[in-house]
Amino acid sequence: MAKDKWFSWGKKKTAEKQEETLDKPAEESIVDEEDVNIDQATPENTKVGFFGRLKDGLKKTRDSITQRIDEVLVSFGKVDEELFEELEEILITSDMGMNTSLMIIDELREKVKAEKITDTQGVRLAIKEIIASKLTDENSRLKLGTKPSVIVVIGVNGVGKTTSIGKLAHYLKQHGKKVTVAAADTFRAAAIDQLEIWTNKAGVELIKHTEGADPSAVIFDAIQHCKSKNTDILICDTAGRLHTKKNLMEELKKIFRIIHRELPGSDIETLLVLDATTGQNAVSQARTFSEVSELSGLILTKLDGTAKGGIIVSIKSELNIPVKFIGVGEQMNDLQPFNPPEFVEALFGSQ
């Protein structure tokens, strides 16, 4: 108990915040499936439902990675250097990236030797364990301890920002959070309407201006709204494209200045959305966006639409930014907190 209190006091900055987290840190209640309110648990958001959707979403990647690995393991039947080379080839062509693939196979060689693995099933299990360890990150939970906290969603056009915000708002609401969304993509004509459809579906508030308005003014209004309505989390949609890339970056910097000025000391999650189907391009996008703010996490979308889901391993090891959520479809429940053991289980099964 004393330890819990110390944690809350140490972490929280206002009386309001302390009260909210006397029992446990707020971020724990956000991504931990155990905390889903029983009354709100539907077949679609229970663990089984989540896992089923994840498995369905990863079907193409499973066919491209796991099925090919299994074919090679069956045809070899024994563990030798040639087998390692075949496996390396599969990982590289499934978009895990050259460096990451070489690293995985090097670790596999060492593990096979150290643990004296002599059968192909043992090799399969070892690959699964190595990939899971590559994906694990201790910072994969959202840190939303203050009230309000802010999530700013950024990324190039078409990657899935608005869609992910709708799903995220729904997810957080289901976890008992009061959510407001700010429509700060005022550039594209249909952007505000599209966001409104999602926030209506999720049953959360939307703060909007008209097309062409100053995005920072939208954020400013949304923050005042959150303060007066005791909102837990403000999620900000942003434009993926302006007239020039420089304009876009300046606009985003201005948005962050307003948030820091109006909510000093608040927890801010800057989530970069990346489209899994764009492959290695994602790495350069992350570099560009990290100029405007330190990225606290990634949302990797459209994993269901690609056989190249191996990109998630490459992104994690090249960028070293935790993947916090993954998109595995276009429905409301198709955004999931990224859970490496479950992800690898959905990919490899427990054969």
Ligand X SMILES: Nc1nc2c(ncn2[C@@H]2O[C@H](COP(=O)(O)OP(=O)(O)OP(=O)(O)O)[C@@H](O)[C@H]2O)c(=O)[nH]1
User: Is-contact 249 292, C-beta < 8 A?
Assistant: yes
**Shortest reach from residue 257's CB to ligand X, in Å:** 22
- The DSSP code sequence of 149-161 is EEEEEE-STTSSH
Q: Residue 241 carries which side chain, given as an amino acid letter?
A: R
Q: Residue 304 touches which of Mg ion, ligand X, none (CB < 5 to 8 A by kind)?
A: ligand X
User: Is-contact 327 160, C-beta < 8 A?
Assistant: yes
Residue selected from 162, 270, 278, 333 as contacting ligand X according to rule CB under 6 A = 162
**Shortest reach from residue 193's CB to ligand X, in Å:** 11
Q: Which region among 176-184, 228-236, 284-292, 323-331 touches ligand X (by CB under 6 A)?
A: 323-331
CA angle 260, 263, 265 (to 5 degrees): 80
Residue selected from 330, 331, 341, 349 as contacting ligand X according to rule CB under 6 A = 330
Distance separating alpha carbons of residues 210 and 114, to the nearest angstrom: 63
**Shortest reach from residue 190's CB to ligand X, in Å:** 9
Q: Which region among 212-220, 222-230, 282-290, 325-333 touches ligand X (by CB under 6 A)?
A: 325-333
Residue selected from 97, 148, 155, 297 as contacting ligand X according to rule CB under 6 A = 155
95 Rama class: left (phi>0) / alpha (psi -120 to 50) / beta: left
Q: Residue 213 carries which side chain, given as an amino acid letter?
A: A
240 binds ligand X (CB under 6 A): yes
Q: Residue 160 touches which of ligand X, Mg ion, none (CB < 5 to 8 A by kind)?
A: ligand X
Helix (H, G, I), strand (E, B) or coil at 278: helix
Distance separating alpha carbons of residues 258 and 254, to the nearest angstrom: 6
Distance separating alpha carbons of residues 265 and 5, to the nearest angstrom: 20
User: Is-contact 171 42, C-beta < 8 A?
Assistant: no
**Shortest reach from residue 129's CB to ligand X, in Å:** 27
Compare residues 88 and 334 and give the one whose CB is closer to ligand X: 334
Distance separating alpha carbons of residues 71 and 85, to the nearest angstrom: 14
Residue selected from 160, 309, 310, 340 as contacting ligand X according to rule CB under 6 A = 160
Residue selected from 305, 317, 318, 345 as contacting ligand X according to rule CB under 6 A = 305
Per DSSP, what are the bridge partners of residue 236? 152, 182
Considering only residues 63-122, where is the footprint of ligand X by CB under 6 A? none
Residue selected from 20, 27, 95, 185 as contacting ligand X according to rule CB under 6 A = 185
Residue selected from 45, 64, 100, 162 as contacting Mg ion according to rule CB under 5 A = 162
Distance separating alpha carbons of residues 310 and 279, to the nearest angstrom: 9
Contacts of 223 (CB under 8 A, 6+ apart): 148, 234, 258, 259, 262, 263
With CA atoms as reference, report the closest residue to 177 among 40, 272, 23.
40
Compare residues 164 and 266 and give the one whose CB is closer to ligand X: 164
Q: Residue 159 touches which of ligand X, Mg ion, none (CB < 5 to 8 A by kind)?
A: ligand X
Q: Residue 305 touches which of Mg ion, ligand X, none (CB < 5 to 8 A by kind)?
A: ligand X
Residue selected from 69, 108, 132, 159 as contacting ligand X according to rule CB under 6 A = 159
Compare residues 145 and 329 and give the one whose CB is closer to ligand X: 329
If you search the block for the tokens 């563990």, which residue do you land on? 79
Q: Which parts of this chain interact with ligand X (CB under 6 A)? A: 155, 157-163, 185, 188, 191, 240, 301-302, 304-305, 327-330, 334
Q: Which parts of this chain interact with Mg ion (CB under 5 A)? A: 161-162
